[in-house]
C-alpha cells in the first residue's frame, strides 16, 4: 500500500505574500482525514512553524531554517551550524569581499517588519534563529563571488523569496528530508513535495513527485527547466489555491 507524505515549503508556496493559507484549508482537512501528514519544510524558524502548525491543526514532523533542523520525529535532527557562528562568518565574508552583508538579526524591528511583512510577535518569532542566518542579498554582480567564498569556508548561500540565507554546506531541504526518511519513513512511502523558489531545489529533487508553485508571473526562472522538461509538475495557480489543486490532483482527493 502506498503511503504519502506531503512535504511543503511555506512562504510563497502554501502561504501567499500576506501569509494567507486559508484557500488550502479544505485540502488540509481532507489530507488529515486520510492520514496523510503535511510536513512543513521551510526557511522559517521552529517557533514560527509551531505557531503555523497550531493554526492549521497539523501534527507530525517539520523541517525548519532551510534544512537546519528537523523536529517532531523524536530527538531533534540538527544539520546546521549555530546561528551565532554563522553571524561571525557573514561578517568575515563581508570583509573579504568588501561587500556589505547585513543579517536579518542585525536589523531593527521596523526594518524586519518592512523586509518580511511581519509585525509584533510574528516578527519576533522570525528572529528566533538557531541553525541558519538570513541576510539582505547583495547586488547580483556579487552573488557568484559570495557563493565561491562561502563554499571555501564550508558554507553555502541560497536565495529565498525575500532574503538570502547562509547555511552549513550540505545543509539543505533535500538533506533534511533524506534524514527524516531514514528515521521514520513507513514502508512504501512516496513523497509529494511543493516549492516555489531556488532554496526549494534540493527538496524538489529529493521527492518522488515534485510540484512547482508559480508566482504571479509564472514559475521562478531557476525552476523553469524542471517544469519545461516535465520532470516537475506546475501548479495551476499561485500559492494556496494552486497548492490545493495540485495536491488534490496528485493524491486523488475529491
Tens digits of residue pLDDT in 31-62: 999 999 999 999 999 999 999 999 999 999 99
Rounded Cα gap, residues 177 and 183, in angstroms? 10
- What's the angle, vertex CA 172, arms to CA 174 and CA 161, rounded to 5? 105
Q: One of 9, 11, 172, 200 is an active-site residue; which one?
A: 9
Q: Is the pLDDT of residue 204 over 90?
A: yes
pLDDT at 94 over 70: yes
Sign of dihedral through CA atoms 48, 240, 182, 58?
A: positive
9 is catalytic: yes
What is the pTM (predicted TM-score) of this model?
0.92
Burial zone of 180 (CB within 10 Å; 0-12 exposed, 13-18 middle, 19+ buried): buried
For residues 11-26, give the mean pLDDT. 96
- 34 Ramachandran zone, left/alpha/beta (phi>0; psi -120 to 50): alpha
Percent of the chain with pLDDT over 70: 99
Q: Quick one: cell of 244?
A: 490545493
What's the rounded Cα separation, in Å, for the pair 235 and 196? 10
Q: Are 246 and 207 in contact (CB under 8 A)?
A: no
How far is it, in rounded angstroms, from Cα 179 to Cα 69?
A: 10
pLDDT higher than 90, residue 120: no
Nine-digit cell string for 37: 501528514
Backbone angles phi, psi at 10, to 5 degrees: -105, -70
CA distance 14 to 25: 10
Note the pLDDT of residue 1.
66
Q: What integer best gives the mean pLDDT of the chain? A: 95
pLDDT of residue 136: 93
Amino acid at each position: 500500500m502506498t503511503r504519502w507524505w506531503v512535504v511543503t515549503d511555506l512562504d510563497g508556496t502554501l502561504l501567499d505574500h500576506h501569509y494567507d493559507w486559508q484557500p488550502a484549508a479544505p485540502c488540509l482537512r481532507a489530507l488529515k482525514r486520510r492520514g496523510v501528514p503535511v510536513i512543513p519544510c521551510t526557511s522559517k524558524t521552529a517557533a514560527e512553524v509551531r505557531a503555523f502548525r497550531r493554526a492549521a491543526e497539523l501534527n507530525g514532523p517539520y523541517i525548519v531554517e532551510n534544512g537546519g533542523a528537523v523536529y517532531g520525529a523524536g530527538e531533534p535532527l540538527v544539520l546546521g551550524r549555530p546561528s551565532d557562528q554563522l553571524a561571525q562568518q557573514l561578517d568575515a565574508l563581508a570583509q573579504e569581499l568588501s561587500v556589505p552583508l547585513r543579517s536579518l538579526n542585525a536589523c531593527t524591528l521596523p526594518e524586519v517588519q518592512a523586509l518580511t511583512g511581519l509585525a509584533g510577535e510574528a516578527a519576533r518569532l522570525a528572529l528566533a534563529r538557531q541553525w541558519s542566518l538570513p541576510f539582505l542579498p547583495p547586488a547580483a554582480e556579487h552573488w557568484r563571488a559570495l557563493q565561491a567564498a562561502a563554499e571555501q569556508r564550508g558554507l553555502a548561500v541560497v536565495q529565498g523569496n525575500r532574503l538570502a540565507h547562509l547555511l552549513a554546506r550540505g545543509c539543505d531541504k533535500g538533506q533534511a528530508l533524506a534524514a527524516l526518511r531514514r528515521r521514520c519513513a513507513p514502508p512504501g512511502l512516496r513523497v509529494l513535495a511543493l516549492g516555489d523558489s531556488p532554496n526549494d531545489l534540493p527538496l524538489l529533487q529529493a521527492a518522488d513527485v515534485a510540484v512547482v508553485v508559480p508566482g504571479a508571473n509564472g514559475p521562478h526562472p531557476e525552476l523553469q527547466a524542471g517544469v519545461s522538461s516535465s520532470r516537475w509538475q506546475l501548479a495551476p495557480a499561485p500559492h494556496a489555491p494552486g497548492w490545493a489543486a495540485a495536491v488534490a490532483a496528485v493524491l486523488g482527493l475529491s
